[in-house]
A and B are shown apart, each in its own frame.
Chain A
Amino acid sequence: EVQLVQSGAEVKKPGESLKISCKGSEYNFNNYWIGWVRQMPGKGLEWMGSIYPGDSDKRYSPAFQGQVTISADKSTSTAYLQWNSLKASDIAMYYCARHHSSGSGGYYSGLGYWGQGTLVTVSS
Protein backbone atom coordinates (compact mmCIF):
# COMPACT_ATOMS: atom_id res chain seq x y z
CA GLU A 1 0.00 0.00 0.00
CA VAL A 2 1.33 3.44 -0.93
CA GLN A 3 2.37 5.39 2.17
CA LEU A 4 3.62 8.90 2.82
CA VAL A 5 4.92 9.46 6.33
CA GLN A 6 5.67 13.00 7.41
CA SER A 7 7.97 14.26 10.13
CA GLY A 8 6.55 15.35 13.46
CA ALA A 9 5.11 18.62 14.69
CA GLU A 10 7.49 21.55 15.02
CA VAL A 11 7.54 24.58 17.29
CA LYS A 12 9.88 27.31 16.11
CA LYS A 13 10.61 30.98 16.76
CA PRO A 14 10.18 33.71 14.16
CA GLY A 15 13.26 33.97 11.97
CA GLU A 16 14.32 30.36 12.49
CA SER A 17 14.81 27.90 9.66
CA LEU A 18 12.92 24.65 9.26
CA LYS A 19 12.91 21.60 6.98
CA ILE A 20 10.07 19.09 7.18
CA SER A 21 10.05 15.74 5.45
CA CYS A 22 7.78 13.28 3.68
CA LYS A 23 8.96 9.70 3.12
CA GLY A 24 7.27 7.65 0.43
CA SER A 25 7.10 3.89 0.33
CA GLU A 26 5.54 0.98 -1.58
CA TYR A 27 5.74 2.68 -4.96
CA ASN A 28 8.39 3.95 -7.39
CA PHE A 29 9.22 7.25 -5.68
CA ASN A 30 11.08 8.60 -8.72
CA ASN A 31 8.09 8.33 -11.05
CA TYR A 32 5.43 10.37 -9.29
CA TRP A 33 5.21 14.06 -8.54
CA ILE A 34 4.87 14.95 -4.86
CA GLY A 35 3.02 18.10 -3.91
CA TRP A 36 2.86 20.19 -0.75
CA VAL A 37 -0.40 21.69 0.49
CA ARG A 38 -0.88 24.26 3.24
CA GLN A 39 -3.90 24.44 5.51
CA MET A 40 -3.95 27.39 7.88
CA PRO A 41 -5.99 26.98 11.09
CA GLY A 42 -9.69 26.73 10.27
CA LYS A 43 -9.08 27.46 6.59
CA GLY A 44 -9.06 25.69 3.24
CA LEU A 45 -6.41 23.97 1.18
CA GLU A 46 -3.67 25.76 -0.78
CA TRP A 47 -1.32 24.08 -3.24
CA MET A 48 2.22 25.30 -2.64
CA GLY A 49 4.19 23.41 -5.26
CA SER A 50 5.23 20.00 -6.51
CA ILE A 51 8.43 18.17 -7.34
CA TYR A 52 9.26 15.26 -9.66
CA PRO A 53 11.91 13.28 -7.78
CA GLY A 54 13.13 11.61 -10.98
CA ASP A 55 14.84 14.78 -12.19
CA SER A 56 13.98 17.30 -9.43
CA ASP A 57 11.79 19.30 -11.81
CA LYS A 58 9.63 21.64 -9.74
CA ARG A 59 6.52 23.73 -10.06
CA TYR A 60 5.70 26.42 -7.50
CA SER A 61 2.62 28.46 -6.85
CA PRO A 62 3.53 32.15 -7.27
CA ALA A 63 2.13 32.71 -3.77
CA PHE A 64 4.87 30.49 -2.33
CA GLN A 65 7.72 30.96 -4.84
CA GLY A 66 10.68 32.42 -2.99
CA GLN A 67 9.05 31.77 0.39
CA VAL A 68 9.77 28.03 0.57
CA THR A 69 12.02 25.48 -1.12
CA ILE A 70 10.86 22.06 -2.22
CA SER A 71 13.43 19.31 -2.68
CA ALA A 72 13.68 15.54 -2.84
CA ASP A 73 16.27 12.86 -2.12
CA LYS A 74 15.82 9.84 -4.40
CA SER A 75 18.20 7.71 -2.33
CA THR A 76 15.90 7.88 0.69
CA SER A 77 12.55 8.38 -1.14
CA THR A 78 12.01 11.55 0.84
CA ALA A 79 10.63 14.93 -0.16
CA TYR A 80 11.25 18.09 1.81
CA LEU A 81 9.70 21.49 2.39
CA GLN A 82 12.04 24.13 3.74
CA TRP A 83 11.86 27.66 5.14
CA ASN A 84 14.89 29.92 5.69
CA SER A 85 13.13 32.36 7.99
CA LEU A 86 9.80 31.47 9.53
CA LYS A 87 7.07 34.01 10.21
CA ALA A 88 4.03 33.85 12.44
CA SER A 89 1.95 33.67 9.25
CA ASP A 90 3.55 30.27 8.47
CA ILE A 91 1.55 28.64 11.27
CA ALA A 92 -0.34 25.85 9.53
CA MET A 93 -0.70 22.17 8.88
CA TYR A 94 1.41 21.13 5.92
CA TYR A 95 0.55 18.04 3.92
CA CYS A 96 2.56 16.22 1.32
CA ALA A 97 0.64 14.25 -1.28
CA ARG A 98 1.54 12.09 -4.25
CA HIS A 99 0.00 13.04 -7.55
CA HIS A 100 -2.30 10.42 -8.99
CA SER A 101 -0.62 9.91 -12.37
CA SER A 102 2.94 8.82 -13.02
CA GLY A 103 5.51 10.37 -15.30
CA SER A 104 6.96 13.78 -15.93
CA GLY A 105 3.57 15.19 -16.94
CA GLY A 106 1.80 13.66 -13.99
CA TYR A 107 1.46 16.88 -12.03
CA TYR A 108 -1.66 17.57 -14.09
CA SER A 109 -3.49 15.07 -11.90
CA GLY A 110 -5.17 14.91 -8.56
CA LEU A 111 -3.40 14.28 -5.28
CA GLY A 112 -4.11 10.62 -4.72
CA TYR A 113 -2.19 9.71 -1.56
CA TRP A 114 -1.60 12.02 1.39
CA GLY A 115 0.72 12.13 4.34
CA GLN A 116 -0.69 12.59 7.82
CA GLY A 117 0.35 16.26 7.97
CA THR A 118 2.99 18.20 9.89
CA LEU A 119 1.82 20.99 12.19
CA VAL A 120 4.17 23.97 12.21
CA THR A 121 3.81 26.47 15.05
CA VAL A 122 5.78 29.70 15.09
CA SER A 123 5.84 31.62 18.32
CA SER A 124 8.24 33.88 20.16
Chain B
Amino acid sequence: DIQMTQSPSSLSASVGDRVTITCQASQDMINYVNWYQQKPGKAPKLLIYDASNLQTGVPSRFSGSGSGTHFTFTITSLQPEDIATYYCQQSDNLPFTFGPGTKVQIK
Protein backbone atom coordinates (compact mmCIF):
# COMPACT_ATOMS: atom_id res chain seq x y z
CA ASP B 1 0.00 0.00 0.00
CA ILE B 2 1.11 3.57 -0.63
CA GLN B 3 1.68 5.42 2.64
CA MET B 4 0.81 9.10 2.75
CA THR B 5 2.85 10.95 5.37
CA GLN B 6 1.26 14.27 6.22
CA SER B 7 2.80 17.12 8.16
CA PRO B 8 2.36 18.85 10.45
CA SER B 9 -0.18 16.85 12.44
CA SER B 10 -1.54 20.12 13.82
CA LEU B 11 -0.91 23.82 13.49
CA SER B 12 -2.11 27.05 14.97
CA ALA B 13 -2.11 30.21 12.87
CA SER B 14 -3.60 33.69 12.89
CA VAL B 15 -6.40 34.91 10.66
CA GLY B 16 -4.86 36.08 7.40
CA ASP B 17 -1.79 33.85 7.69
CA ARG B 18 -0.55 31.60 4.92
CA VAL B 19 -0.87 27.95 5.89
CA THR B 20 0.96 25.10 4.19
CA ILE B 21 0.47 21.37 4.67
CA THR B 22 2.63 18.78 3.00
CA CYS B 23 2.00 15.19 2.02
CA GLN B 24 4.77 12.76 1.12
CA ALA B 25 3.86 9.59 -0.76
CA SER B 26 5.85 6.39 -0.28
CA GLN B 27 6.14 5.98 -4.04
CA ASP B 28 5.79 8.10 -7.15
CA MET B 29 2.28 9.25 -8.05
CA ILE B 30 0.71 10.26 -11.35
CA ASN B 31 -0.72 13.35 -9.59
CA TYR B 32 -3.88 11.61 -8.42
CA VAL B 33 -3.63 13.32 -5.06
CA ASN B 34 -6.66 14.93 -3.49
CA TRP B 35 -7.20 17.18 -0.50
CA TYR B 36 -10.23 17.19 1.81
CA GLN B 37 -11.51 19.42 4.58
CA GLN B 38 -13.46 17.92 7.46
CA LYS B 39 -15.15 20.11 10.05
CA PRO B 40 -16.15 18.55 13.39
CA GLY B 41 -19.25 16.39 13.09
CA LYS B 42 -19.43 16.84 9.32
CA ALA B 43 -18.62 14.78 6.25
CA PRO B 44 -15.35 15.50 4.46
CA LYS B 45 -15.42 17.90 1.54
CA LEU B 46 -13.23 17.66 -1.55
CA LEU B 47 -11.22 20.85 -2.03
CA ILE B 48 -8.47 19.91 -4.50
CA TYR B 49 -8.34 16.99 -6.94
CA ASP B 50 -5.55 15.66 -9.12
CA ALA B 51 -2.97 17.59 -7.10
CA SER B 52 -3.85 21.11 -8.23
CA ASN B 53 -7.42 21.38 -9.50
CA LEU B 54 -9.84 23.41 -7.43
CA GLN B 55 -13.19 21.69 -6.92
CA THR B 56 -16.16 23.72 -8.15
CA GLY B 57 -17.37 26.22 -5.59
CA VAL B 58 -14.26 26.08 -3.41
CA PRO B 59 -12.72 29.49 -2.57
CA SER B 60 -9.59 30.41 -4.46
CA ARG B 61 -7.57 30.85 -1.25
CA PHE B 62 -7.19 27.07 -1.31
CA SER B 63 -4.64 25.59 -3.68
CA GLY B 64 -2.58 22.48 -4.25
CA SER B 65 0.63 21.64 -6.02
CA GLY B 66 3.25 18.96 -6.32
CA SER B 67 4.28 15.93 -8.28
CA GLY B 68 6.07 12.65 -7.83
CA THR B 69 6.11 11.97 -4.13
CA HIS B 70 5.82 15.49 -2.68
CA PHE B 71 2.54 17.40 -2.57
CA THR B 72 1.56 20.67 -0.92
CA PHE B 73 -1.75 22.18 0.13
CA THR B 74 -1.94 25.91 0.83
CA ILE B 75 -4.45 28.31 2.33
CA THR B 76 -3.22 31.75 1.26
CA SER B 77 -5.15 33.72 3.88
CA LEU B 78 -6.55 31.70 6.77
CA GLN B 79 -10.17 32.49 7.66
CA PRO B 80 -12.06 31.56 10.85
CA GLU B 81 -14.29 29.19 8.86
CA ASP B 82 -11.21 27.21 7.75
CA ILE B 83 -10.87 25.61 11.18
CA ALA B 84 -10.96 21.91 10.33
CA THR B 85 -8.88 18.81 9.80
CA TYR B 86 -7.36 18.47 6.36
CA TYR B 87 -6.53 15.14 4.73
CA CYS B 88 -4.55 14.25 1.65
CA GLN B 89 -5.49 11.11 -0.27
CA GLN B 90 -3.95 9.22 -3.15
CA SER B 91 -6.25 7.73 -5.79
CA ASP B 92 -3.37 6.62 -7.97
CA ASN B 93 -2.93 3.05 -6.75
CA LEU B 94 -5.25 0.58 -5.07
CA PRO B 95 -5.95 0.57 -2.22
CA PHE B 96 -6.57 4.29 -2.04
CA THR B 97 -5.07 5.71 1.13
CA PHE B 98 -5.45 8.86 3.19
CA GLY B 99 -2.90 10.78 5.16
CA PRO B 100 -3.42 10.94 8.95
CA GLY B 101 -4.75 14.49 8.83
CA THR B 102 -3.68 17.97 9.88
CA LYS B 103 -5.75 19.82 12.45
CA VAL B 104 -5.79 23.55 11.75
CA GLN B 105 -6.65 25.93 14.59
CA ILE B 106 -6.76 29.69 15.02
CA LYS B 107 -4.10 31.24 17.23
Contacts and interface: CB of A to CB of B under 8 A. Distances in A.
A75 B32 CA distance: 31
Interface size for chain B: under 10, 10 to 19, 20 to 34, or 35 or more residues? 20 to 34
B81 to A, nearest CB: 18
Given A100-B46, A110-B50, A112-B46, A47 B95 contact: yes
Contacts of B50: 109-110
Interface of A: 35, 37, 44-47, 59-63, 95, 97, 100, 107-117
Given A47-B95, A47-B97, A117-B43, 15 more contacts: A37-B44, A44-B87, A44-B98, A44-B100, A44-B101, A62-B1, A100-B46, A110-B49, A110-B50, A110-B55, A110-B89, A111-B46, A112-B46, A114-B44, A114-B45
Given A108-B91, A110-B50, A116 B43 contact: yes
Interface in B1-45: 1, 32, 34, 36, 38, 43-45
Contacts of B55: 100, 110, 112
A116 B100 CA distance: 21
Which of A45, A107, A113 gathers the greatest number of chain B CB atoms within 10 Å? A45
Binding site of B, secondary structure by majority: helix, strand, loop or mixed?
Answer: loop
B10 to A, nearest CB: 13
A46 B34 CA distance: 14
A61 B49 contact: no
Contacts of A100: 46, 49, 55
B44 A107 contact: no
A47 B78 CA distance: 29
A100 B1 CA distance: 22
B43 A110 contact: no
Contact of B95 (A63, A95, A97): A63
Contacts of B99: 44
Nearest to B87: A45
Contacts of A95: 43-44
Contacts of A47: 89, 95-98
Interface in B43-68: 43-46, 49-50, 55
26 contacts: A44-B98, A44-B100, A45-B38, A45-B44, A45-B87, A45-B98, A46-B98, A47-B95, A59-B94, A95-B43, A97-B43, A107-B91, A108-B92, A109-B34, A109-B91, A110-B34, A110-B36, A110-B46, A110-B49, A110-B89, A111-B36, A111-B44, A112-B46, A112-B55, A113-B46, A116-B43
